[in-house]
Amino acid sequence: MFKKRTLTSTVQQISQSFPVLLITGPRQVGKTTLLESCAEKNRSYVTLDDLDARSLAQKDPTLFLQKYKPPLIIDEIQYAPQLLSAIKLWVDQQKIPGLFWLTGSQKFHLMQDITETLAGRVAIIDMLGLSQAEWDNRADQTLPFLPTQAWLDQVPIKKIHSLDLSALYQRIWRGAFPKLLIDSKMSRDIFYNSYIQTYIQRDVRDLTRVGNERTFYRFLRVIAARTGQLLNYADLARDADIDAKTAKAWLGILETSGLIYLLMPYYANIAKRLVKTPKLYFLDAGLCSYLAQWTSPETLESGAMSGAIFETYVVIELLKSYWHRGLTPHFYFYRDKDQKEIDLIIEQDNTLYPVEIRKTATPSKNAAANFSLLNKLNRSIGEGAVICMRSTPIPLAKGVQAIPVVYL
């Protein structure tokens, strides 16, 4: 079963302007499948997971590009950074858009090589697993999420698939990797067990020296249990039995590898009382649930992480609505020293749009009470939203809508 991705039109647009396109993201999110679905008949494909192709690319990049001529898809480009200089020479000589489509699942070192070598020649896109909209065949929605009437008006209501709480947590628990979603018979536990082993063995070892794989696995479990929470390096290091310096280094690897997201607090010079610690989110709720050892959707929904994993799922979907259109979201959260908090602030065109995330089907007006805290920031404040389990949107207060999570 093929699911059209929102990035399809973005790939086609970028290829008309840039000679090189790079799609980055974790393994198994569908990067190669996307590019192959967009490719013309004359576009070749080569993967650097193939050791013979990798060896040639590393030892003789010029000969590699004579053998595999553009237009070309090169999978896992991080294995042969030597190719980048040869690609630069090729595009500078040809001056043709769309020559090279690249994928990479290790941004940690790749990004520095790419930006230094191909500056001005490459467009870079982040990609995650299937979004809720893509799974519901709504990949062609034009607008990224904003809590506005204009965004609501472009949601194709007839394509919305209703989800009760148990069905939503089944989706959260299983995750968004295409292989797992499309093949309903595949064991979720076997998939994630294999995924983690592969990630540790093939990727993390390439990025840093993990002295003890069990320690790194314990670290993964510790941060999974903290999704949706403020990041405390000292507590994280203590529970994972590592030092704070190692915890920061490993978090950096996970972030640039597309497995976690750090949501930064919003603050301006006028607001000196805001907390400056980021919040941590896993970028796949299924992988997070597996690492935190929730064995069923039912135990996840009724357990201690229920609210945090719901919030994680919503934040991931909102990120996808931007990243899968080739856009950079300006997301923040608000929390002051009095513990007053707004789950998410989206900044666009010098305007702040507040969002609360609530695991309830009957949100009250009080759910948006903290939105008024933004008035003291002396900024333009846009419409707000409470994303929740309602089946249809409804106004909660002036300029505030309750938006169903199934609309995302």
d(CA 11, CA 32): 12
What pLDDT, on a 0 to 100 scale, did the predictor assign at position 270?
A: 46
Burial status of residue 217 (CB atoms within 10 A of its CB: 0-12, 13-18, 19 or more):
middle
Question: What is the spatial distance between Cα 77 and Cα 333, in angstroms, rounded to a whole number?
Answer: 34
Report if residue 160 sits inside a domain. yes
Specify whether 136 is located in the same domain as 108.
Answer: no
**According to the model, what pLDDT value does residue 38 have?**
93
Q: CATH number, domain at 74? A: 3.40.50.300
Burial 162-181 (b: 16+ CB within 10 A, else e): ebeeeebbbbbbbbbbbebb
205 and 344 both lie in a single domain: yes
Same domain, 105 and 136: no
Residues 181 and 98 reside in one and the same domain: no
Q: Is 402 a member of any domain?
A: yes
The Cα-based distances of 283 to 109, 255, 309 in angstroms read 20, 9, 11
- Is there a single domain that holds both residue 115 and residue 180? no
Verify that 138 and 222 share a domain, yes or no. yes
Distance from C-alpha of 233 to C-alpha of 246, rounded to nearest angstrom: 10
Which DSSP state fits 28? T
The pLDDT of residue 271 is: 47
Give me the number of domains the chain comprises. Answer: 2
**Residue 137 and residue 45 share a domain:** no
Q: How far apart are the first and last CA of the chain?
A: 22
pLDDT given for residue 7 in this prediction: 96
pTM above 0.75, yes or no: yes
Report whether 246 contacts 223 (CB < 8 A): no
Contact (Cβ atoms closer than 8 angstroms) between residue 310 and residue 165: no
Both 95 and 147 in one domain: the answer is: no
In a domain, 140, yes or no: yes
Q: Over the chain (408 residues), what is each successive 10-residue block's mean pLDDT?
A: 90 93 92 94 94 96 94 93 93 93 78 79 93 93 93 91 91 95 92 88 64 82 96 91 88 86 81 72 97 96 97 98 95 88 95 96 92 89 96 93 96
| Same-domain status, 312 and 402 | yes
Specify if 377 maps to a domain.
Answer: yes
* Interatomic CA distance for residues 252 and 50, integer angstroms: 28
- 182 and 46 share a domain? no
Per the structure, the complete domain to which residue 216 belongs is given by 132-407
| Domain end position, chosen among 104, 126, 148 | 126
Instruction: Decide if 377 contacts 136 (C-beta within 8 A).
Output: no
Query: CB within 8 A of 202, min separation 6: which ones?
Result: none
Q: Is the alpha carbon torsion for 141, 342, 306, 220 positive or negative?
A: positive
Distance between CA atoms of residues 44 and 193, nearest Å: 33
DSSP string, 13-27: HHTTT-SEEEEE--T
Out of 94, 126, 158, a domain closes at: 126
Q: In this structure, is residue 283 part of a structural domain? A: yes
Claim to verify: residue 180 and residue 86 sit in the same structural domain? no
CB 144 within 8 A of CB 329: yes
3-class secondary structure, 400: strand
- Specify burial of residue 236 (Cβ count, 10 A radius: 0-12, 13-18, 19+): buried
Query: Where a domain ends, among 74, 95, 126?
Result: 126
pLDDT, position 171 = 95
Classify residue 2: in a domain, yes or no: no
Statement to judge: residues 256 and 110 lie in one domain: no
Residue 1 domain flag:
no
